[in-house]
Protein backbone atom coordinates (compact mmCIF):
# COMPACT_ATOMS: atom_id res chain seq x y z
CA UNK A 1 0.00 0.00 0.00
CA UNK A 2 1.39 3.41 -0.94
CA UNK A 3 1.76 6.21 1.60
CA UNK A 4 -0.93 8.33 -0.08
CA UNK A 5 -3.56 5.59 0.25
CA UNK A 6 -2.54 4.83 3.82
CA UNK A 7 -2.73 8.51 4.78
CA UNK A 8 -6.44 8.79 3.92
CA UNK A 9 -7.44 5.97 6.29
CA UNK A 10 -9.08 7.42 9.37
CA UNK A 11 -8.02 5.65 12.55
CA UNK A 12 -10.83 5.64 15.11
CA UNK A 13 -10.11 7.75 18.19
CA UNK A 14 -12.72 6.03 20.37
CA UNK A 15 -13.87 2.52 21.22
CA UNK A 16 -17.48 1.45 21.15
CA UNK A 17 -19.75 -1.20 22.62
CA UNK A 18 -19.73 -3.99 20.00
CA UNK A 19 -23.50 -4.45 20.14
CA UNK A 20 -25.10 -1.01 20.58
CA UNK A 21 -26.75 0.61 17.58
CA UNK A 22 -26.07 3.40 17.08
CA UNK A 23 -22.62 2.69 18.55
CA UNK A 24 -22.08 3.87 22.12
CA UNK A 25 -18.59 4.99 23.22
CA UNK A 26 -17.22 2.76 25.98
CA UNK A 27 -13.72 2.61 27.51
CA UNK A 28 -11.60 -0.05 25.83
CA UNK A 29 -14.51 -1.20 23.66
CA UNK A 30 -16.20 -2.84 26.64
CA UNK A 31 -19.67 -4.30 26.19
CA UNK A 32 -22.01 -1.82 27.89
CA UNK A 33 -24.06 -2.95 30.95
CA UNK A 34 -27.35 -3.14 29.03
CA UNK A 35 -25.84 -5.32 26.29
CA UNK A 36 -24.10 -7.61 28.78
CA UNK A 37 -27.48 -9.13 29.60
CA UNK A 38 -27.71 -10.80 26.17
CA UNK A 39 -24.09 -11.15 25.06
CA UNK A 40 -21.03 -12.97 26.39
CA UNK A 41 -18.29 -10.92 24.77
CA UNK A 42 -16.23 -8.72 27.14
CA UNK A 43 -15.55 -6.13 24.48
CA UNK A 44 -14.31 -5.44 20.97
CA UNK A 45 -11.74 -3.05 19.57
CA UNK A 46 -12.03 -1.77 15.99
CA UNK A 47 -9.21 0.27 14.49
CA UNK A 48 -11.06 1.80 11.54
CA UNK A 49 -14.32 1.69 9.61
CA UNK A 50 -15.27 -0.41 6.59
CA UNK A 51 -17.04 2.69 5.29
CA UNK A 52 -13.56 3.88 4.31
CA UNK A 53 -13.12 2.57 0.77
CA UNK A 54 -9.37 2.03 1.22
CA UNK A 55 -9.91 -0.08 4.34
CA UNK A 56 -12.65 -2.10 2.64
CA UNK A 57 -10.54 -2.74 -0.45
CA UNK A 58 -7.44 -3.57 1.59
CA UNK A 59 -9.24 -6.20 3.65
CA UNK A 60 -10.83 -7.64 0.52
CA UNK A 61 -7.44 -7.98 -1.20
CA UNK A 62 -6.08 -9.55 1.98
CA UNK A 63 -8.84 -12.13 2.50
CA UNK A 64 -9.78 -12.83 -1.11
CA UNK A 65 -7.85 -13.25 -4.40
CA UNK A 66 -5.13 -12.20 -4.96
CA UNK A 67 -4.56 -12.88 -1.19
CA UNK A 68 -1.98 -10.16 -0.56
CA UNK A 69 -0.40 -11.56 2.60
CA UNK A 70 1.96 -8.59 2.95
CA UNK A 71 -1.00 -6.32 3.78
CA UNK A 72 -0.90 -7.75 7.31
CA UNK A 73 1.82 -5.21 8.15
CA UNK A 74 -0.35 -2.26 7.10
CA UNK A 75 -3.43 -3.56 8.91
CA UNK A 76 -1.48 -4.25 12.09
CA UNK A 77 -0.08 -0.71 11.96
CA UNK A 78 -3.66 0.63 11.89
CA UNK A 79 -4.47 -1.39 15.01
CA UNK A 80 -1.36 -0.20 16.82
CA UNK A 81 -2.14 3.43 15.93
CA UNK A 82 -5.68 2.98 17.23
CA UNK A 83 -4.44 1.52 20.53
CA UNK A 84 -2.09 4.46 20.94
CA UNK A 85 -4.84 7.00 20.24
CA UNK A 86 -7.18 5.35 22.76
CA UNK A 87 -4.44 4.90 25.40
CA UNK A 88 -4.81 1.12 25.33
CA UNK A 89 -1.30 0.36 24.09
CA UNK A 90 0.21 -0.60 27.45
CA UNK A 91 -2.78 -2.66 28.56
CA UNK A 92 -2.26 -5.29 25.89
CA UNK A 93 1.41 -5.85 26.64
CA UNK A 94 0.37 -8.23 29.43
CA UNK A 95 -1.92 -10.31 27.23
CA UNK A 96 -1.31 -13.35 25.07
CA UNK A 97 -2.73 -13.34 21.55
CA UNK A 98 -4.78 -16.16 20.05
CA UNK A 99 -5.76 -15.68 16.40
CA UNK A 100 -9.13 -17.10 15.40
CA UNK A 101 -8.60 -20.31 13.39
CA UNK A 102 -10.09 -20.95 9.97
CA UNK A 103 -11.20 -24.26 8.49
CA UNK A 104 -8.58 -26.46 6.81
CA UNK A 105 -10.34 -26.11 3.46
CA UNK A 106 -10.21 -22.31 3.64
CA UNK A 107 -6.61 -22.36 4.87
CA UNK A 108 -5.59 -24.56 1.95
CA UNK A 109 -7.37 -22.28 -0.52
CA UNK A 110 -5.97 -19.00 0.83
CA UNK A 111 -2.57 -20.29 1.92
CA UNK A 112 -2.60 -18.45 5.26
CA UNK A 113 -4.83 -17.45 8.16
CA UNK A 114 -5.35 -13.69 7.89
CA UNK A 115 -5.90 -13.29 11.65
CA UNK A 116 -2.71 -15.17 12.42
CA UNK A 117 -0.63 -13.02 10.09
CA UNK A 118 -1.80 -9.80 11.76
CA UNK A 119 -1.40 -11.39 15.19
CA UNK A 120 2.26 -12.12 14.41
CA UNK A 121 2.85 -8.49 13.57
CA UNK A 122 1.14 -7.35 16.78
CA UNK A 123 3.19 -9.86 18.75
CA UNK A 124 6.41 -8.28 17.53
CA UNK A 125 5.22 -4.83 18.62
CA UNK A 126 3.82 -5.85 22.02
CA UNK A 127 6.53 -8.44 22.69
CA UNK A 128 3.85 -10.89 23.77
CA UNK A 129 3.37 -14.49 22.62
CA UNK A 130 0.99 -15.73 19.94
CA UNK A 131 -0.65 -19.09 20.63
CA UNK A 132 -1.49 -20.66 17.28
CA UNK A 133 -1.92 -24.25 18.42
CA UNK A 134 -4.71 -24.06 20.97
CA UNK A 135 -7.81 -23.06 19.00
CA UNK A 136 -9.18 -25.21 16.19
CA UNK A 137 -12.11 -24.77 13.85
CA UNK A 138 -13.80 -28.16 13.75
CA UNK A 139 -16.93 -27.38 11.72
CA UNK A 140 -17.39 -25.91 8.27
CA UNK A 141 -19.55 -22.79 8.47
CA UNK A 142 -21.41 -20.61 6.02
CA UNK A 143 -20.08 -17.10 5.27
CA UNK A 144 -21.21 -14.90 8.15
CA UNK A 145 -21.79 -11.81 6.04
CA UNK A 146 -24.99 -13.19 4.48
CA UNK A 147 -26.59 -14.31 7.78
CA UNK A 148 -28.80 -12.64 10.39
CA UNK A 149 -27.68 -12.32 14.02
CA UNK A 150 -29.57 -15.45 15.12
CA UNK A 151 -28.30 -17.38 12.09
CA UNK A 152 -24.73 -16.33 12.86
CA UNK A 153 -24.99 -17.69 16.40
CA UNK A 154 -26.36 -21.00 15.16
CA UNK A 155 -23.80 -21.13 12.34
CA UNK A 156 -20.93 -20.80 14.83
CA UNK A 157 -22.35 -23.12 17.47
CA UNK A 158 -19.77 -25.82 18.30
CA UNK A 159 -17.57 -24.59 15.45
CA UNK A 160 -14.46 -24.07 17.59
CA UNK A 161 -12.50 -26.24 19.98
CA UNK A 162 -9.71 -25.46 22.44
CA UNK A 163 -7.30 -28.39 22.36
CA UNK A 164 -4.79 -27.13 24.93
CA UNK A 165 -6.67 -25.10 27.58
CA UNK A 166 -3.85 -25.70 30.06
CA UNK A 167 -1.59 -23.46 27.95
CA UNK A 168 -4.00 -20.59 28.48
CA UNK A 169 -4.35 -21.36 32.18
CA UNK A 170 -0.59 -21.43 32.65
CA UNK A 171 -0.18 -18.03 31.03
CA UNK A 172 -3.28 -16.17 32.16
CA UNK A 173 -4.16 -17.67 35.52
CA UNK A 174 -7.33 -19.27 34.12
CA UNK A 175 -8.82 -15.95 33.13
CA UNK A 176 -10.15 -15.60 29.58
CA UNK A 177 -10.11 -11.85 30.16
CA UNK A 178 -6.30 -11.95 29.89
CA UNK A 179 -6.44 -13.58 26.48
CA UNK A 180 -6.66 -11.37 23.40
CA UNK A 181 -8.69 -13.21 20.77
CA UNK A 182 -7.99 -11.76 17.37
CA UNK A 183 -10.05 -11.82 14.18
CA UNK A 184 -9.78 -9.71 11.03
CA UNK A 185 -13.35 -8.89 10.05
CA UNK A 186 -16.09 -6.29 10.34
CA UNK A 187 -17.57 -5.27 13.69
CA UNK A 188 -20.75 -7.38 13.67
CA UNK A 189 -19.14 -10.55 12.34
CA UNK A 190 -16.18 -10.22 14.71
CA UNK A 191 -18.54 -9.80 17.67
CA UNK A 192 -20.47 -12.97 16.82
CA UNK A 193 -17.32 -15.07 16.26
CA UNK A 194 -15.54 -13.83 19.37
CA UNK A 195 -18.67 -14.14 21.49
CA UNK A 196 -18.97 -17.85 20.75
CA UNK A 197 -15.31 -18.45 21.51
CA UNK A 198 -15.51 -16.41 24.71
CA UNK A 199 -18.38 -18.57 25.91
CA UNK A 200 -16.49 -21.78 25.12
CA UNK A 201 -13.28 -20.63 26.81
CA UNK A 202 -15.08 -19.34 29.89
CA UNK A 203 -16.47 -22.82 30.45
CA UNK A 204 -13.07 -24.46 29.99
CA UNK A 205 -11.23 -22.01 32.22
CA UNK A 206 -13.65 -21.66 35.08
CA UNK A 207 -12.13 -22.50 38.48
CA UNK A 208 -12.49 -26.13 39.50
Rounded distance between C-alpha atoms, residue 40 and residue 124, angstroms: 29
**Percent of the chain that is helix, strand, coil (3-state, to 5):** 50, 10, 40
Whether 13 contacts 23, CB under 8 Å: no
- Would you give the end-to-end CA distance of the chain in angstroms? 49
Our count of domains for the chain comes to 1
According to the model, what pLDDT value does residue 175 have? 47
Report the predicted TM-score, pTM, of the whole model to 2 decimal places.
0.84
Could you tell me how many helices (H) and strands (E) the chain has, helices first? 8, 4
According to the model, what pLDDT value does residue 120 have? 92
According to the model, what pLDDT value does residue 173 have? 44
DSSP string for 14-37: S-B-SS-SS--B-GGGBPPTTGGG
Q: What are phi and psi of 29, to 5 degrees?
A: 70, 25
Reduce the DSSP state of residue 133 to 3 states and report it: coil
Q: What are phi and psi of 200, to 5 degrees?
A: -65, -45
Rounded distance between C-alpha atoms, residue 146 and residue 10, angstroms: 26
According to the model, what pLDDT value does residue 172 have? 47
According to the model, what pLDDT value does residue 191 have? 82
The parent domain of residue 123 ranges over: 3-205
According to the model, what pLDDT value does residue 26 have? 94
Tens-binned pLDDT, residue by residue, of the chain (208 aa): 787 888 889 999 999 999 998 889 999 899 999 999 888 788 888 999 988 999 999 999 999 999 999 999 999 999 999 999 999 887 777 777 888 888 888 899 999 999 899 999 998 998 888 888 888 888 888 888 778 878 888 888 888 888 877 776 655 444 444 566 666 666 777 888 888 787 777 776 665 5
Amino acid sequence: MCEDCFSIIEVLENDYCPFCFPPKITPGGKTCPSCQKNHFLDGLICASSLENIVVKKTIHLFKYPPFLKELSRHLSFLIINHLKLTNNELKFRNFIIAPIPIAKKRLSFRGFNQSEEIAKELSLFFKTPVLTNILLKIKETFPQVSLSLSQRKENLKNAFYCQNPEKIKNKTGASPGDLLLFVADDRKIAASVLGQLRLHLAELLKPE
